[in-house]
Structure 1
Amino acid sequence: MTSEERTPAGQRVWETARELFYREGVRSCGVAEIAEHSGVGKPSIYRNFGSKDELAVAYLREKAVPPREILRAAQEAYPGDARAQLRRVVAEIAREITAPGHRGCPLANAVVEFPDRTHPVREAAEALKREYLGLFRELVAPLPVGDPENLAHLIQMLVEGAHITGQIFGPDRSAANLVDATDRLVDSYLSD
């Protein structure tokens, strides 16, 4: 449901849930807490969103910038320069890691919160993560590398690690090291 389709109460629920899910985690926020913070009764929440799981899946989809948009922006910024496109995407992720209030990747956070791979929130988070892996695959495919599939997977691992270490050790170093490590990794894969 888009913001235009939501009732005013539904919009308050949406804004409250997005904030609580990111700050506190999806599992730790119940419908009662969302109702209390939004000033909207539980029946209205269910009328607007169906269930907490549906609300959480919508939240994840909203938080995930579509990889097609990311790829298109990189290609427009650096037409014909695959390495510069990859650097741009990684630099954007690094900037995100250093943004005030950043609490890690919401998709990765959801995967950790929902260990059951069949849970709808977990399924949505994994599907969106696979799309990001596909983005890295597309970014490295034009490069003269021996194993682009593995390189894409390793870059995804660096991104995930940077989000986590940014939470543990501080964002600035993790963001800078993400950019540096990705460059070094790509260099190690380039064919002579």
Structure 2
Amino acid sequence: MTSTSDRRPTRVATLPPRERILDAAEELFLNEGVGRVGVQAIADRAGTTKMAIYRHFGTKDALIAEWLKIVVHDYSAAFDAAEQAHPGDYAEQIRAVGRFIVDGLPDFSHRGCPFTNSVAELPDPGHPARRLISEHKARQFGRLRAMCAGLGLPDPELGAAELTFAMEGAQIAVQNGGVENVGAHLTKIVEGVVGRGAAG
């Protein structure tokens, strides 16, 4: 996912039209929310027209889903990297996923979680972006459950649920600002789950 600091007009102007639209949509969706941002605002930020956006994506809903695919890819790539870096070492795989979340917490402190924010603004469960998020979360949970099973936890489902609740809760807590040292707490929770497996 492109960082906000990289999105300067000179850079945007060099991108192909479709990528320019996605880049502009990403910045606006992250900072203002998918519901508040109109197609015209995206067109203005991308230096293009509403007609061009509809030509490339069809609808605003399809554009939202296409942006979220980029976010999904980032998370999936983190799991892939953990598995590839630590083949067969499920404890280190889980730690690596935990570090990915901890490292991303500073972004969540001022922008929030793109999945949580989008779900809150898209009440229709049949919305393509809602379906995309639901499918992604199910796949991610399944990968955590497989790691917990490989780790030897007696209840991999519960272990995956603990990790999911801790990681997603940390992303919300750091945005809300009510808990200090969120990353350190999350790291200890992850270690607690890993330690139960190693002890067993």
Which segments of 5 or more consecutive residues in structure 2 lack a partner in the other structure?
Answer: 1-14
What are the equivalent positions in structure 2 for 1:115-134 lying under 5 Å apart?
Answer: 115-134=123-142
Report Cα offsets for 1:91-124 as digits up to 9, x if no partner: 1110011248762321222122212211222111
TM-score, reference length from structure 2: 0.82
After superposition, residues 49-68 of structure 1 pair within 5 angstroms as: 49-65=57-73
Q: CA deviation at 1:19?
A: 0.7
Q: Which amino acid aligns with 1:157?
A: F
CA contact (8 A) 1:162 1:174 kept: yes
The ranges of structure 1 where at least 4 consecutive aligned residues each deviate by more than 6 angstroms after the TM superposition are none
Q: How does 1:10-159 map to 2 (within 5 A)?
A: 10-65=18-73, 69-99=77-107, 103-159=111-167
Give the equivalent residue in structure 2 for 1:184. 192
Contact 1:141–1:148, Cα closer than 8 Å, also in 2: yes
TM-score, normalization: structure 1?
0.85
**Alignment match of 2:181 (pick from 165, 173, 183):** 173
CA contact 2:61–2:129 (8 Å) conserved in 1: yes
Q: Considering fraction of residues, name the structure with more helix.
A: 2
Work out the percentage of aligned pairs sharing the same amino acid: 35
SS in 1 for 2:150: coil
> C-alpha distance in 2, partners of 1:28/1:91?
32
Task: Measure the CA separation in 2 of the matches of 1:171 and 1:52.
Answer: 36
Equivalent AA in structure 2 for residue 162 of structure 1: A
Aligned length, in residue pairs: 186
